[in-house]
Amino acid sequence: MKGKRILSGVQSSGTLHLGNYFGMMRPALSIQEENECFYFIANYHALTVLPDPEALRQRTFNVALDFLACGLDPQKTVFFRQSDIPEVQVLSWILSCLTPVGLLERCHSYKDKLARGMEANQGLFSYPVLMAADILLYNSQVVPVGKDQKQHLEVTRDIAIRFNNHYGDILTIPEPMIQEEVAVIPGLDGQKMSKSYGNAIEIFGEDKAIRKKFMSIVTDSTPMEEPKNPDTCNVYKLFKLMGTPEECEALRAKYLGGNFGYGHAKQALFEKYKEYFAEARERRSEYLAKPQLVEDILQDGASRARKVAQATLHKVCAAVGLE
Q: Which is nearer to ligand TRP, 9 or 187 (CB)?
A: 9
For residue 97, count other CB atoms closer than 10 A to its CB: 9
How far is it, in rounded angstroms, from Cα 57 to Cα 198?
Answer: 21
Nearest to 218 by CA among 259, 266, 256: 266
- Cα dihedral sign, 249-144-72-36: positive
> Is residue 130 involved in binding ligand ADP (CB under 6 A)?
no
> Is residue 174 involved in binding ligand ADP (CB under 6 A)?
no
Active-site residue, selected from the candidate residues 113, 237, 240, 272: 113
Smallest separation, CB 161 to ligand ADP (Å): 22
76 among known catalytic residues: no
Active-site residue, selected from the candidate residues 150, 195, 208, 266: 195
How far is it, in rounded angstroms, from Cα 318 to Cα 315?
Answer: 5
135 touches which of ligand TRP, ligand ADP, none (CB within 5 to 8 A by kind)?
Answer: ligand TRP
Residues that bind ligand TRP (CB under 6 A): 7-11, 42, 45, 131, 134-135, 143, 145, 149, 152
113 among known catalytic residues: yes
Applying CB under 6 A, among 184, 280, 288, 317 the residue interacting with ligand ADP is 184
How far is it, in rounded angstroms, from Cα 297 to Cα 86?
Answer: 18
Residues in the chain: 323
178 touches which of ligand ADP, ligand TRP, none (CB within 5 to 8 A by kind)?
Answer: none
Smallest separation, CB 25 to ligand TRP (Å): 11
> Is residue 23 involved in binding ligand ADP (CB under 6 A)?
yes
194 touches which of ligand TRP, ligand ADP, none (CB within 5 to 8 A by kind)?
Answer: ligand ADP
How far is it, in rounded angstroms, from Cα 185 to Cα 194?
Answer: 9
> Is residue 89 involved in binding ligand ADP (CB under 6 A)?
no
240 among known catalytic residues: no
Smallest separation, CB 127 to ligand ADP (Å): 10
305 touches which of ligand ADP, ligand TRP, none (CB within 5 to 8 A by kind)?
Answer: none
For residue 301, count other CB atoms closer than 10 A to its CB: 24
Q: What is the dihedral of CA 155, 159, 160, 163, to 10 degrees?
A: 180
Q: What is the chain's Cα-based Rg?
A: 21
Smallest separation, CB 140 to ligand TRP (Å): 8
Task: Report helix, strand or coil for 176.
Answer: strand
19 touches which of ligand ADP, ligand TRP, none (CB within 5 to 8 A by kind)?
Answer: ligand ADP
- Cα dihedral sign, 17-23-24-30: positive
Q: Which is nearer to ligand ADP, 13 or 319 (CB)?
A: 13
> Is residue 7 involved in binding ligand ADP (CB under 6 A)?
no
Q: Is residue 12 a contact partner of residue 60, using CB atoms and an 8 Å limit?
A: yes
How far is it, in rounded angstroms, from Cα 253 to Cα 164?
Answer: 55
Active-site residue, selected from the candidate residues 2, 111, 192, 228: 192
DSSP letter (8 states) at residue 8: E
Smallest separation, CB 82 to ligand TRP (Å): 7
How far is it, in rounded angstroms, from Cα 306 to Cα 86?
Answer: 9
Strands (E), the chain: 5-11, 36-42, 78-81, 142-144, 175-177
Q: How many chain residues are in contact with ligand ADP, going by CB under 6 A?
A: 18
Instruction: List the catalytic residues.
Output: 113, 192, 195
Binding site for ligand ADP (CB under 6 A): 10-11, 13, 19-20, 23-24, 145-146, 148-149, 184-185, 192-196
